[in-house]
């Protein structure tokens, strides 16, 4: 797994889903330039380098949320709301 996060649009993610499922690269999925979700591949057991990359990704996500004044509770509420339709 690599720590390099790529950003792609929802349409591209949907069209090339099989490619991203086979990839080891984390993906930020965007809609109209705004990140709407993340895909973090998990292939078998993680080695130390992969765990470190995941920790970095979590730190980056937490920093982005803090920078934008968004709490984890807000993210979870929004997620649940969107899942319910």
Measure the CA–CA gap between 82 and 85, rounded to whole angstroms: 5
* Rounded alpha-carbon distances, angstroms, from residue 65 to 11, 36, 43, 71: 24, 13, 27, 7
Q: What is the pLDDT of residues 42-70, one digit of tens each?
A: 866 767 887 888 899 889 989 999 999 99
Residues 21-30 have a mean pLDDT of: 90
Q: Give the predicted TM-score (pTM) of the model.
A: 0.50
């Amino acid at each position: 797994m690599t720590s390099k996060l790529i950003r792609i649009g929802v349409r591209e993610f949907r069209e090339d889903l099989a490619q991203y499922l086979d990839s080891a690269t984390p993906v930020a999925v965007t809609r109209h330039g705004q990140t709407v979700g993340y895909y973090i591949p998990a292939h078998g057991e993680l080695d130390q380098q992969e765990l470190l990359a995941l920790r970095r990704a979590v730190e980056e996500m937490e920093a982005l949320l803090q920078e934008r004044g968004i709490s984890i509770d807000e993210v979870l509420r929004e997620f649940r709301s969107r899942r319910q339709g």
